Structure 1
Amino acid sequence: MSRIVLGVTGGVAAYKAALLLRLFTEAGHDVRVVPTESALEFVGAPTWEALSGNPVQTGVFENVPEVPHVKLGQTADLVVVAPATANTLARAAHGLADDLLTNTLLTARCPVVMAPAMHTEMWEHPATVANVATLRERGVLVIEPDSGRLTGADTGPGRLPDPEAIHAVCLQVLQGRPRDLAGQHVVVSAGGTREFLDPVRFLGNRSSGRQGIALAEAALARGASVTLVAANVSVDVPAGAEVVRVVTTSELRDAMLKAAESADAVVMAAAPADFRPVSFADAKIKKQPDGVAPSIELTENPDILVELVRTRSGRRPVIVGFAAETGDANGSVLDHARAKMARKGCDLLVVNDVGSERTFGQPDNEVTILTAEGSEHPVARAAKSEIAHAIWDAVVQRVE
């Protein structure tokens, strides 16, 4: 059981914090809710006390013998602020301590997660941008807000992520992983691309995106700023990542090359389609009366991993490729992977044996990590979240 402080600040999204609280308590954690005075205008203290089973206070002069303005932060395993308003981000960034929540943030020596929620104009204001950058430099995990319907008729970035997504990030943080990617920008691709034959049919592959999503979640927990390029993923994307949605290999290529320009590490976990049709049929291709199937001419797609290696400056960013292989008469899985690494020129290559339903769509995986220097590091079958951390362990050794 972990001791969690849930800070709630004054925004309409405060009602979502009640759902987040329920997720924490149902998992057996001991949660103390610390709302601001403004937060109580949206959700009252009786709700927080009923759901947490703990008393609620907002000021430093309540229950003075317990010295709560110091004790809460000192004894917490995790402090989460959701929603975090622009005002709270500013006060935290400047070290103000004018209520119990900001005092707790100053005394906490545990991981701190902040989930902002505000109107788009406030989120994009240079002052908020600077405050978020300051907090991240200090090791605070500031989750990127979702884009969607806000208060009133407004729509845009600034929406509080769903409680389940925030909870998933917090679970990663509670695992106690090192914050060894703090200050680093990493780019991860996930999923499989689609190349359309006609308006309803496409060439694709079976990649679900699970491993790429796990890599993004693990990097967030280790303190990185994460750009996730998601190609038709079938699982939820993590709260906190900047998400770029793509469909085709061409779109994936453009997004990866652009994001890699400012990256310290790039992990190419997506499965791009190797080929695409030469031509696209504007109408659905019909079956022929004579039963003869149409002939489809294919052309090769660009090799994104090779382009990433060729266009980088020096040894930055560190580049990780994936090889989904099966053995055949010409060689084993590792034989094919070593040859692929020699062709691609990446720093690390994560090798999957994808035969016999071993990888696609499965919750676990078993890989071998090859290095440019020729070493091999097998990772035994484990949850894809654990595989992700093993990959980041190898990346951290190379990030300058």
Structure 2
Amino acid sequence: MKIKRPKEGELIPAYPSHNAGFRSLGNLDPGRLSTILANLDAGDIAEAMTLFDEMEEKDLHLGAVSQTRKLAVVARDRTVIPASDDDEDKKIADFVKDVFTSIPQKPAAFTRLLSAVTHGFAIAEIVWEISDGMVTIKDLIGRPQNIFTFIDHEEPARLLDFPRLIEQGTGRGAPLPREKFVFHRHQSGDSACVRAGLYRGISWYYLFTSFTIKDWLTFIDIYGIPLRLGRFKPTADDTARDVLKDAVMNLGSDAAAVISDDTSIEFIQSALAGDHSLFREAAEYFNRQKSKRLLGQTLTTEGQDKGSFALGKIHDQVRNDIVAYDAMALDETINCDLIKPLVDFNFGVRKRYPRVVTSLVSAGETDMKLEQVEKLVAMGAKIPARVVAEITGIPITGDLDESLVSRKGAAA
């Protein structure tokens, strides 16, 4: 039984007019950050989402590390696996594959969806299109998080499971059709998705880093430029003294001055009354904490003098585990919110659906993975074909829940 077909076109404009009020937060201090995070916990997420966007834009280290985690997933290959070896399931999988591969700018949409890791959730709008009696996907467009709210105005004490669009003027949330959106959540324990984003905790280190950089720049401004001392003889008149004063004041930027013989300028190099390394070490420490929170380690983002190749390989493996987790979580969301409704609209509700699977194998690793699987199967391990397909990234037809058997076992 087919379900009711979706509405075509976009529901949310690319740049909502009411989003203009959340473009910049300006100066941030501990009191304001505490208020923003308290509102976030209560479901009023607009300012927090704007802050998280600004953090990624203004903090170059944070932006680079976050981009590394996202692109490690976006750059992977993906394939569509049929629900079974049945001819109809293969036909459905072929249709899904054609539609999925033809979606324009998937990397941009997936990058937006993966911002759920840092923001707690992410949304992409599905632009449905009906052509020749078939429902297809014209586009998949990421939407900014700060135009949504999780506040239930009928029951303010309860957070919504699915966000609503903030209405211009009223500030209240307008319900959204579920089949129009891919809603990706970052799972972090039992926390609600508004509290699950990694930037929630990192925001304090972002604040500390901004203070440290400002203090460091002030230190450099005071101690990094030599003191310009103007001297004049008793015979110098008022005009010569005024010229000398202007020359001393402007010499830092002009690097040139014309003065009379009765005056002179002396440069006194500062002995650096304070230890400037304190600010650098503080900034580096805060950056390391951000890296640990996002990547689980620091060696792949910073050239540590005390690092070793072996330790770096271990840390890179930790990062690979994070990539695998992010990829599998995104696959689940894509299969639930994109592939399932696509199949339902065209073929009706089914017991099982084709799946989009992200390959977790890098170039050259497929043979190694297959060798490991072959050894395990030869030892009697029961490994479903579906698991092998997901591990190796190789499409496998047939009953995907059936365990693989060795050639010797099959011959016997």
TM-score by length of structure 1 reads: 0.23
User: Of the two structures, which has the highest relative contact order with CA contacts closer than 8 Å and spacing of 6 or more?
Assistant: 2
TM-score by length of structure 2 reads: 0.22
Which has more helix, going by share of residues?
A: 2
Instruction: Report which of the two structures shows the higher radius of gyration computed on alpha carbons.
Output: 2
Which has more strand, going by share of residues?
A: 1
